[in-house]
Amino acid sequence: MKRSATMNEIEDIVITQTIRSPMVEVFRAITTGRIIDEWGGGPARVQARSGGKISLWDGEMHGTIKEYDFPRRLVFTLREISWDEHAHDSLVSWEFRETDRGTLITLLHSGLPTRKIREQHSDGWGEYFLGPMKAYLEYFTDTKQKMKSSY
Q: Domain residues of the chain, as ranges?
A: 13-146
Q: 115 and 10 in contact (C-beta within 8 Å)?
A: yes
pTM over 0.85? The answer is: yes
pLDDT greater at residue 145 or residue 83 = 83
Is a pLDDT exceeding 50 seen at residue 49?
yes
Alpha-carbon dihedral sign for residues 143, 99, 76, 49: negative
CATH number of 13-146: 3.30.530.20
Of all residues in the chain, the percent with pLDDT exceeding 90 is 85
Angle at 93 (CA atoms; ends 89, 99), nearest 5 degrees = 165
Task: Express the helix, strand and coil content of the chain in percent, nearest 5 each.
Answer: 35, 30, 35
What confidence tier does 7 reach under pLDDT thresholds 50, 70, 90?
very low
3-class state of residue 149 by DSSP: helix
Confidence of residue 3 (pLDDT cuts 50, 70, 90): very low
pLDDT of residue 6: 43
42 secondary structure, DSSP code:
-
Of 38, 39, 76, 44, the residue nearest 59 (C-alpha): 44
